[in-house]
Chain A
């Protein structure tokens, strides 16, 4: 089941990303980068099910790191995209 999800989303991802123009490749990367921070969900689950203190503290550190990834990624992507402006309607011609 999970393998199926993996293959399917890989294909969908590949297909969706082929359509992104190279103009936007940097924001695309920082955006997908933020998405790879979903691992924070794993970290949260790990904290919840942790049986030992050591694994609980590992998961806590993971939460911090993953959130740096998520928040940093989305904010910086937003910052970049805000800079992309369309030209004024062909002033000269």
Chain B
């Protein structure tokens, strides 16, 4: 190992680590990103110089084409489409690692190298096809519900077994071209990625994206083993660790484990009737007309000192986040304290809800994590849920045996009054009926959240 290059690699690696480290504070996160980007640029230039590629036109053109496509995607994407973009980029990374390893199979030095190349091809192509399915599911081009083929588990394990056997024993097949060995791996690994991802439901996508993120890191790391490059190994391993950590966090927040997410278990909608009727004080829905409900909502909002808003993915779907912030600003101008309670799996990827609200202009110190705010619902005058169902469903802690039982939820039901701005009373993704809607202190404002909020905003500003 030539020592100068080694030290340069070390500097790049340290820069990348400190970049990620800075991401832990919202104030300096931008700098972290810039440092990591500069480190990456430096590494690319370094390799170009070291391999004497600077003058090679085709390489420069390839770099430029990739950069332009990447930039175009990044600039055009809407915040609600962020999960798709991240999944797509994961796929690109995986595919790139796979292709590099394939290219390297053309000149493997040793048998050991061939094994690593093969393994890198498998992980890379699996990441690629899995990510494309995830993109399809997130953008609605592929059915969101789990697609289960006949004998799905057998099919999955069968392909996986074939793949591993072939990978392990290919040395004995005496290939004349090692490239052929790699190419034969491709269809199996690609098919496995598809079959694996297609059975996972839409609401479990946060976990899948994290997992694919981890895999794209692993693929890059393997690619580093193939090309004997410690920097690739290091960066890839860090990304892998990050992805694994985030998948774990997401699973914990949904009270699932990786195995049952991947097997598509626990997402079959159950009928709400399986639940016992709630023992709470039920109110007669007919008592209040729409107009009554509306003016009562205005009254409690006007009198409120403490307001917590609990947004869900429904808010993002109706693009109501701007209205939500408008409402919050009006309430604040009236002297109330307004905060946001963010459930870890609100949205379609970790932290998605925070980004959506930040886009609408909500300052980040008003966005509180579930654990930081959950005990405050008791002392809250009005809790407003906007397009959230499962993450505020008290059944999760009151009823045993439902798909969401044991899942940590936002304790919206503890608030003095609850305004529910959801589209309708249908259960959330889990299919578990939400007894919150029957609570005496819940005011149900059905309809598109954006319109509901607009009416509230108008009402508040008109009658001063």
Contact = CB atoms under 8 A, between A and B. Distances in A.
Interface residues of A, number: 85
Interface in B114-130: none
A70 B70 contact: yes
Nearest to A65: B96
Contacts of A31: 19-20, 23, 32-33, 36
Given A13-B239, A34-B37, 12 more contacts: A5-B234, A19-B24, A26-B351, A26-B355, A27-B29, A55-B179, A60-B58, A62-B103, A67-B62, A67-B63, A68-B89, A83-B359
Given A12-B238, A36-B93, A44 B66 contact: no
7 contacts: A22-B249, A33-B89, A36-B90, A38-B220, A72-B73, A78-B33, A84-B358
Contact of B220 (A8, A39, A50, A87): A39
Nearest to B95: A65
A28 B432 CA distance: 32
B122 to A, nearest CB: 15
B156 interface: no
Interface string A56-93: 10111111111111111111111111111111100110
Given A63-B59, A64-B65, A42 B350 contact: no
Nearest to A17: B242
Contacts of B70: 67-73, 75
A24 B23 contact: yes
Q: State the majority secondary structure of interface residues on A.
A: helix
Given A5-B237, A48-B53, A32 B229 contact: no
A62 B355 contact: no
Nearest to B226: A42
B77 interface: yes
Given A23-B354, A62-B99, A63-B62, A81 B48 contact: no
B235 interface: yes
A32 B33 contact: no
Given A42-B223, A48-B51, A68-B92, A28 B66 contact: no
Interface stretch (B281-289, B363-371, B396-404): B363-371
Contacts of A34: 36-37, 40, 89
Contacts of B361: 85
B264 to A, nearest CB: 23
A76 B40 contact: no
Q: Which among B53, B86, B99 has the greatest number of chain A C-beta atoms within 10 A?
A: B99
A73 B359 CA distance: 18
Interface stretch (B139-147, B209-217, B269-277, B380-388): B209-217
Contact of B242 (A28, A40, A46, A81): A28
Interface in B308-339: 332, 335
B82 A14 contact: no
